[in-house]
Structure 1
Amino acid sequence: MLFIFPSNPVAPRFVDEHFAPEAMAARAAGHSVAVVDHDALCSGATEEAVRWIPLSDEGAQTNPALYRGWMLTVRQYTGFAAATAQRGVTLLTSPSSFEHAHWLPRWYDALSALTPRSVWTEGPDLDAFEACCSRLGSGPAVLRDHVKSLKHHWAEAAYIPDVANLPAARAVARRFLELRGEDFAGGLVARAFEQFTTTEARTWWVQGRCVLVTAHPDTPGDLPTGADLQSVAPTVAALGLPFVTVDLVLRADGVWRIVELGDGQVSDRPKSTPPETFIEAITGAFGT
């Protein structure tokens, strides 16, 4: 398998320091490693971004490629996939699969029975957001956009004490938009607040099968035990996505809930999970 990692901004022919342990583990396991210029990718200079990915010989069968790197928008990922294809390299996750895992409105319906009730807007319109809050009813909610929350700004830009208080909900949404700025993605999402009693477990799925359970990167030293994979496995498998993460947490009533679905390529590995363990689990599941 070919692994593609972001390049180091200071030494662009080398892997970014954050992903260097995974790159070393991949090489040690016999896999190839290449780098992509993340900044060029984000600016739309896709040909420049992939210039260090080796060209495959014309007519040769190429190895599958897996990206492990920083978050990308769907548009950026689509350009990335097209540029690698021009070099004879095919990403294991297609742009459509990336979008399905990346954006909450794409996966919510399939997982709605297993995740907090959610409503959303298309775009940043605050009047439309108030209408969404009215549909949610009353009670506390958590705010995010189609891709990401700002849980580290919990009180000012994430937690809404009561969605029935529309002016207060609007104020939280306005602050969220200010903080997200140009990174704002898709629309505003209000998710019904549920009381959880554990930290999150990050589960890694390849071709619909869970291959690894780790702590969440935000709490690398705290892995909750007993995550109920059987309750979510059929639904996750039915998504038909090649490589995703599913973050699970225990609700106060003893039910395991899905907090987030994410594309596995841009999901962070907690430092408590050795890179060798991670690489072996992922590549073994892909059969390489």
Structure 2
Amino acid sequence: MQFIFCADPFDIRQPDFDYVTEYEAVKSLGYQPAFIDFEALVNDQNAEKAVRKVSIQPTEQVGLYRGWMLTPAQYQQLFEALTKRGIRLLNDATAYKHCHYLPESYSIIAPYTPKSVWLTLNGELDIDAIMSLLHDFGDRPIILKDFVKSRKHEWHEACYIPQASDKTTVERVVHRFLQLQETGLNEGLVFREFVDFEPLTTHPKSGMPLTQEFRLFFLDGELIYVSKYWDEGNYAETDPPITQFCEVAQIVQSRFFTMDVAKQLNGDWMIVELGDGQVAGLPDSADVTAFYQSLLAHQLSSDVSSLPAQDT
């Protein structure tokens, strides 16, 4: 397997600061990661330049990107540029989009996740169309995000809406959200039912309520790593019902993805959202080496199982 990290913006021979720990863990396991120029890919829109320091492989290798989020179009460009160098990323662009954009996977996780509605933004904001979309929520609270991210650390001003029927508040929160997202908006707006999850603590900087949430990593339908989502708070003896979520993982249309899950006040568990495993962060408390050891063990097992049977 060829691991590919985002390079330091000032030195393409070194990993981006935020990925140094993962880079060192991969090296300690006997692998030599490659680097891509993230700025060339995103700012210059030049995928060939971005992969210029990635060695051309004599035979095709499976690749795993660990880096910053990309739009599906940017990911497609990276996928194609690496393929030309003999590296085929674990997830193709369709699989990446399937887990990266909530609306793409919603039909699969709908029975297990908060009710969600969305609209794509192509021009002027139509607040009446939004209120019509929110009708089924009644007076219940909702949260706002785009197809990928929320402004959860601006909880009260750009994320949480106490009453879905309150047009004034909806309009204020939506406008503030769009103002903060600026050109980073992903496709459109997603409104989700606010669910009372088991409280953990409040974020020390933003004051956002933190809940009993976990991040599950899956490779080829198999759970490879579980981590507490938040570094703050006391999780006590809480553990997610793994079997329940492993069943859902079988129908997710991606080889490598994350599933964030949280415990409700009534004791039941829900899926918060899915994410592409290559751009999903590892919490600070995660055992990075153990994560990569598990990933490699499952990948090697998958490679062996896919080999043709030998004549005896």
Aligned residues: 284
Q: Could you tell me how far 1:68 is from its partner in structure 2?
A: 0.4
Q: Check whether the contact 2:135–2:165 (CA below 8 A) recurs between aligned residues.
A: yes
Q: Could you tell me how far 1:220 is from its partner in structure 2?
A: 5.8
Identity in percent:
33
Structure-2 residue corresponding to 1:219: 231
CA distance in 1, matches of 2:108, 2:138: 22
CA distance in 2, matches of 1:220, 1:267: 18
Q: Could you tell me how far 1:32 is from its partner in structure 2?
A: 2.8
Q: Check whether the contact 1:26–1:33 (CA below 8 A) recurs between aligned residues.
A: yes
Q: Could you tell me how far 1:221 is from its partner in structure 2?
A: 6.5
Q: How does 1:40-51 map to 2 (within 5 A)?
A: 40-43=40-43, 44-51=45-52
- Secondary structure, counterpart of 1:53 in structure 2: coil
TM-score, length of structure 2 as denominator length? 0.87
CA distance in 2, matches of 1:163, 1:34: 47
Structure-2 residue corresponding to 1:149: 150
Structure 2: 5+ residue stretches without partners: 199-210, 302-312
Q: How does 1:111-122 map to 2 (within 5 A)?
A: 111-122=109-120
Structure-2 residue corresponding to 1:7: 7
**Greater alpha carbon shift after TM alignment, 128-137 vs 173-182:** 128-137
CA distance in 1, matches of 2:228, 2:108: 25
Q: How does 1:113-132 map to 2 (within 5 A)?
A: 113-123=111-121, 125-127=125-127, 128-132=129-133
Q: Could you tell me how far 1:282 is from its partner in structure 2?
A: 1.3
CA distance in 2, matches of 1:226, 1:21: 26
In terms of Rg, which structure is larger?
Answer: 2
CA distance in 1, matches of 2:182, 2:234: 32
Structure-2 residue corresponding to 1:285: 298
Q: Could you tell me how far 1:286 is from its partner in structure 2?
A: 1.3
Q: Which has the higher strand share?
A: 2
CA distance in 1, matches of 2:233, 2:67: 22
- Secondary structure, counterpart of 2:183 in structure 1: helix
Structure-2 residue corresponding to 1:90: 88
1:16-65 residue CA offsets vs partner (Å, 9 max, x unmatched): 121111111112212230000111111211111000111123xxx22210
* Structure 1 residue corresponding to 2:79, chosen from 78, 81, 99: 81
Structure-2 residue corresponding to 1:243: 256
1:55-97 residue CA offsets vs partner (Å, 9 max, x unmatched): 123xxx2221000011111111011001111111111110000
Structure-2 residue corresponding to 1:33: 33
Structure-2 residue corresponding to 1:72: 70
Q: Structure 2 counterpart of 1:36, which letter?
A: I
Is residue 2:284 matched to residue 1:271?
A: yes
CA distance in 2, matches of 1:242, 1:199: 26
CA distance in 2, matches of 1:166, 1:265: 38
Coordinate RMSD, CA, aligned: 1.5
TM-score, length of structure 1 as denominator length? 0.94
Structure-2 residue corresponding to 1:184: 185
CA distance in 1, matches of 2:136, 2:109: 19
CA separation of 1:38 and 1:30: change in aligned 2, threshold 3 A: same
CA distance in 1, matches of 2:286, 2:21: 11
- Secondary structure, counterpart of 1:67 in structure 2: strand
Structure-2 residue corresponding to 1:24: 24
